[in-house]
Amino acid sequence: MPIINNLVQRVAVGVVLAASGLGCSNMNNSQKGAVVGGAGGAALGAIVGKQLGNTGAGAAVGALTGLAAGGLVGNAEDAAEERDNAQRQAAYEQNRRVLQARAVTNSDIVNMAHNGVDESTICNEIRTHGGNFDTSPQAIIYLQRAGISSTVIQAMQNCRGY
């Protein structure tokens, strides 16, 4: 029996060393938790098993228990990360929709100019609200024919969107 117990202890130490040496950067939390839990459980189980007279059985039970517990904890962390990422993405998309709704358009520019809004105010509106502009050659010709100044057209061209 001492040979088996010694072998189990060496295997447990090897598992702990291998787990710590693994490149865990490409593992998800479930996998990391299972590895760390299994290794820690095997080591702790071997210690408890030795006190009870069966190091091998203690290491095996500890490894399985640690593997399961670590995997469950890691899985919960993965689920929380997934939920947080989904919430961040939803907030980002909502913010984009709000910005897009506030963005100034070509027709807004023409409407402001035809209603006597001066070009500095129009340019400020572009800077503060962003724009969703068509600045194709045809649109620029239309804007010039509609009486839009080259200063405003350049502000539209320089706008980075919403």
Considering the domain architecture, whether residues 45 and 86 belong to the same structural domain is answered as yes
Q: What is the number of domains present in the chain?
A: 2
Which pLDDT does position 6 carry in this prediction?
61
Considering the domain architecture, whether residues 31 and 111 belong to the same structural domain is answered as no
Considering the domain architecture, whether residues 14 and 93 belong to the same structural domain is answered as yes
Considering the domain architecture, whether residues 13 and 76 belong to the same structural domain is answered as yes
Which pLDDT does position 26 carry in this prediction?
83
Considering the domain architecture, whether residues 63 and 80 belong to the same structural domain is answered as yes
Tell me the whole-structure pTM to 2 decimals.
0.53
Considering the domain architecture, whether residues 27 and 89 belong to the same structural domain is answered as yes
Last residue of a domain, one of 74, 99, 124: 99
Q: Which long-range contacts (CB under 8 A, 24 or more apart) does 31-36 make?
A: 31/71, 31/74, 32/70, 32/74, 33/69, 33/70, 33/71, 33/72, 33/73, 33/74, 33/75, 33/77, 34/67, 34/70, 34/71, 34/74, 35/70, 36/66, 36/70
Considering the domain architecture, whether residues 95 and 125 belong to the same structural domain is answered as no
Range of the domain at 77: 2-99
Considering the domain architecture, whether residues 49 and 94 belong to the same structural domain is answered as yes
Considering the domain architecture, whether residues 85 and 151 belong to the same structural domain is answered as no
CB within 8 Å of 80: residues ≥ 6 apart: none
Q: What is the DSSP string of the chain?
A: -HHHHHHHHHHHHHHHHHHHHS-GGGS-HHHHHHHHHHHHHHHHHHHHHHHHT-HHHHHHHHHHHHHHHHHHHHHHHHHHHHHHHHHHHHHHHHHHHHHHHHSEEHHHHHHHHHTT--HHHHHHHHHHH-EE---SHHHHHHHHHTT--HHHHHHHHH----
Considering the domain architecture, whether residues 92 and 110 belong to the same structural domain is answered as no
Considering the domain architecture, whether residues 30 and 79 belong to the same structural domain is answered as yes
Which pLDDT does position 22 carry in this prediction?
54
Last residue of a domain, one of 50, 69, 99: 99
Considering the domain architecture, whether residues 95 and 112 belong to the same structural domain is answered as no
Local mean pLDDT, 10-residue blocks, the chain (162 residues): 57 56 72 82 80 82 81 86 94 89 94 96 94 95 96 93 66
Which pLDDT does position 151 carry in this prediction?
96
